[in-house]
Amino acid sequence: MKLPSAAVAASLVCLIVAPVLAQTPPVPAAPGTVPVPAAKRVTCLATTANLKGQDKRDQMQLCMAQARVDCLKQAIDQKIVGEARKSFIKSCVGSDGPEP
């Protein structure tokens, strides 16, 4: 039986991310915030692993944009504003800058 590539990619992400997150000490959260693991970028990388060239770049950009929107929604729900919001979104997405 042939598994869909998305299922394989998701399984790989779980195998890679779980041990890393298990070793990471918890970060103290600001009052009222819920800590979010910075695995969204890793997920995007894993889901685009089987693509090449422009297709890979396009899908990576779309995935990262969606990750940023998801993190922004979380920040809004948690009423995080200003520099704290910028920092939260950056850590939520798991990106130090623009994607490759």
For the chain, the three-class secondary structure string (H helix, E strand, C coil) is CCCCHHHHHHHHHHHHHHHHHHHCCCCCCCCCCCCCCCCHHHHHHHHCCCCCHHHHHHHHHHHHHHHHHHHHHHHHHCCCCHHHHHHHHHHHHCCCCCCC
Domain ranges of the chain: 5-93
Q: Is the pLDDT of residue 93 over 50?
A: yes
Q: Over the stretch 72-83, which tens digit does the pLDDT of each residue have?
A: 999 999 999 999
pTM above 0.75, yes or no: no
Mean pLDDT of the chain: 74
- Taking only the tens place, the pLDDT of each residue in 45-69 is 999 999 999 999 999 999 999 999 9
> What percent of the chain stands above pLDDT 90?
46
Instruction: Answer yes or no: is pLDDT of 27 > 50.
Output: no
